[in-house]
Amino acid sequence: MLNPLFYYESVVLALRQIWANKMRSILTALGIIVGVASTTAVIAALTGLKTKVLSEFETFGAARLYVLPSRPEGMPRNLFPWEKIRLKATEAIALKEQCTALKGITPISETSLSVQSEAETLEGVSVTGIWPAWHATENRQVIHGRPFSQQDIDNARQVCMVNDLAVRDLQLPLEPIGEHLIIGGRRFLIVGVVETITERMTGFNTISAEVFIPFSLMEKFQDRDFFMRFVAIANSPAEADEARSEMSRVLRKIRGLSSGDPDTFRVQAIDQFIDQFKSVASGITAVAGGIVGISLLVGGIGIMNIMLVSVSERTREIGLRKAVGATPTAILLQFLLEAVTLCLAGGLVGVLIGQAFAIGVSHIPGANLDQAGVPAWAVLLAFLFSAGVGVVFGMFPAIKASRLDPIEALRHE
């Protein structure tokens, strides 16, 4: 059993050797530094992205449910054509009337249309058809004027709502209630202004002008087979599973599906999207970490090479130490600790560079990575990996040093 003081002295000696050969040590550890810095930087960026996306998911609320058309997996297209699986407004009405666990539901369909005010014309504006329950499902409120009423929907009134960016881009008055817009060739009365959200789940930094019209009018702008989805909100998060079951049961009944028939739709809750995203993010982190970790392998080879050179340069020193009683184990541990110390020093520099990268990325305007940072587990993993590289690639030179014959070593010039 070696004295604990031996380990301390070996580490001090290793640091002296590193300092005595500063340039060589820096070049040797460069592979480790680049590998650790790359890995921690990638993890920091992905952590920031993951935190940002999950926080957006959470703002949607755990009671939110989505209904999408879905062709059964593995089924031929001719058996389940789009006309058969697409959602219909009548199905949304049935869900609204028959699902007691739902607080509200709205069909949603989007298209891009030309929008014209008295002062400005915009092409390709996002126009969305909704029901009054949209405000509850999307948690977006009217800041001026009023929301749509059920009479607006039932009578297909040519009324619309805009967000404040549309007010700006179309050069409308600050409170444009009562103004008119030409949307897709039809004249609409503005009845409300909807708050603008800072991020939209349809894509990061896609803040833009938005116009909303009654869903019954959206149907007139598109062909009979246009795409729509349903967004619903349960009475409470605790009733989300019950609401999902009710919606599936009602839709299967409306579509005439028997017990053995596959679903031609998907009902998903927000927690399913969160689980899917976490799984994807973990996979991306693992793959990215593995790719940039290749540089750690290259760095390890450099460590082994320089340690072999060090053994050759210090052959006479090894002979002297053996002559005064140093055991092969002590020699082996000394050189092994030197390799590990060099790797850990490189790992420390790499972590600091990775952290600096994370801080820099978090301050990039518009990057949406303000929560980027190197997590504690990544720092620990970096040091463990660095130490592992030192042990694996330092073992061969250390064994070579420990097996040197003292007499031959003393004769070495």
Rounded-to-integer distance, Cα 193 and Cα 172, Å: 11
Q: Is 329 or 233 the better-scoring residue by pLDDT? A: 233
Higher pLDDT, residue 203 or 18? 18
Examine the domain organization and report whether 228 and 286 are in the same domain: no
Q: Which of the residue ranges 120-129, 199-208, 394-403 would you say has the lowest mean pLDDT?
A: 199-208
> Among 89-98, 271-280, 322-331, which is the least confidently predicted range?
271-280
- Considering the domain architecture, whether residues 126 and 222 belong to the same structural domain is answered as yes
Within this chain, do residues 118 and 49 fall inside the same structural domain, yes or no? Answer: no
Block residue for tokens 């060099």: 342
β-pairing verdict for 210-214 and 121-130: parallel
Q: Is 109 found in the same domain as 35?
A: no
**Same structural domain for residues 107 and 230?**
yes
- Which of 237, 264, 296 marks a domain boundary? 237
The reply to whether 76 falls in a domain is: no
Question: Are 72 and 260 in contact, with CB atoms under 8 Å apart?
Answer: no
- Do 65 and 268 form a contact (C-beta atoms < 8 A)? yes
pLDDT of residue 56: 63
**Which comes out higher in pLDDT, residue 102 or 312?**
102
Report how far residue 354's alpha carbon sits from residue 385's, in angstroms, rounded to the nearest whole number: 15
> Strands, E, within 131-249: which ranges?
142-145, 159-163, 180-183, 186-194, 210-214, 229-234
Is 269 a domain residue? no
The rounded distance, in Å, linking the Cα atoms of 83 and 73 is 17
Instruction: Kindly tell me if the per-residue pLDDT of 345 is higher than 60.
Output: yes
> For residue 32, is it within any domain?
yes
Instruction: Please tell me the predicted confidence (pLDDT) of residue 382.
Output: 76
Helix 22-60 and helix 270-292, axial crossing angle in degrees, nearest 10: 170
Verify that 399 and 327 share a domain, yes or no: yes
Q: What is the pLDDT of residue 148?
A: 95
Q: What is the pLDDT of residues 142-199, one digit of tens each?
A: 999 999 999 999 999 999 999 989 999 999 998 899 999 999 889 999 999 999 875 4
50 and 136 both lie in a single domain? no
**Tokens at 355, concatenated:** 């952290």
Whether residues 139 and 214 share a domain: the answer is: yes
Q: Is residue 313 part of a domain?
A: yes
Radius of gyration of the chain (CA): 33
Average pLDDT taken over every residue of the chain: 80
Domain end (from 175, 210, 237)? 237
Q: Which of the pair, 31 or 150, is modelled with greater confidence?
A: 150
The answer to whether the beta carbons of residues 62 and 240 sit under 8 Å apart is yes
DSSP 321: H
3-class state of residue 145 by DSSP: strand
Tokens matching residue 365: 């305007």
Inside any domain, residue 151: yes
Q: Is the pLDDT of residue 328 over 90?
A: no
Amino acid 83: pLDDT = 81
For residues 384 and 316, the model is more confident at 384
- The number of folded domains in the chain is 2
Residues 6+ apart with CB under 8 A from 39: 289, 292, 293, 296, 350, 354, 378, 382
- pLDDT tens by residue, 227-240: 899 999 888 877 88
Residues 292 and 175 placed together within one structural domain of the fold: no
**Separation CA 299–CA 306 (nearest Å):** 11
Please give the Cα distance from 141 to 307 (Å, whole number). Answer: 67
Q: Is residue 352 part of a domain?
A: yes
- Do 299 and 383 lie in one domain? The reply is yes
SS3 5: helix
Residue 229, domain member (yes or no): yes
Specify if 133 maps to a domain.
yes
8 A C-beta contact, residue 360 and residue 37:
no
Q: Which helix (H) or strand (E) holds 268?
A: strand 265-269
Burial zone of 353 (CB within 10 Å; 0-12 exposed, 13-18 middle, 19+ buried): middle
Residue 121 burial (CB count, 10 A) = 11
Burial class (CB in 10 A: 0-12, 13-18, 19+), 174: exposed
Name which of 19, 75, 62 is nearest 239 in CA terms.
62
Q: For 80-203, where are the E strands, in sequence order?
A: 102-116, 121-130, 142-145, 159-163, 180-183, 186-194
Measured CA distances, 70 to 12, 254, 263, 266, 268 (Å): 65, 16, 8, 6, 12
| pLDDT given at position 61 | 62
What is the tens place of the pLDDT at every residue in 346-387? Answer: 888 888 888 888 888 777 766 566 667 777 777 787 777 777
Of 178, 206, 237, the one marking the end of a domain is: 237
**Residue-number span of the structural domain to which 359 is assigned:** 4-56+278-411
Tell me: do 210 and 146 sit in the same domain.
Answer: yes
End-to-end CA separation in angstroms for the chain: 33
Percent above pLDDT 70 for the chain: 81
Nearest to 162 by CA among 204, 129, 191: 191
**Quick one: 312 and 361 in the same domain?**
yes
The amino acid sitting at 360 is G
DSSP per position, 232-267:
EEESSGGGHHHHHHHHHHHHHHHTT--TTSPPSEEE
Residue 376: count of CB within 10 angstroms of its CB: 8
Out of 267-271, 319-323, 402-406, the most confident range is 267-271
pLDDT 10s digits, 60-84: 566 788 999 988 887 777 777 888 8
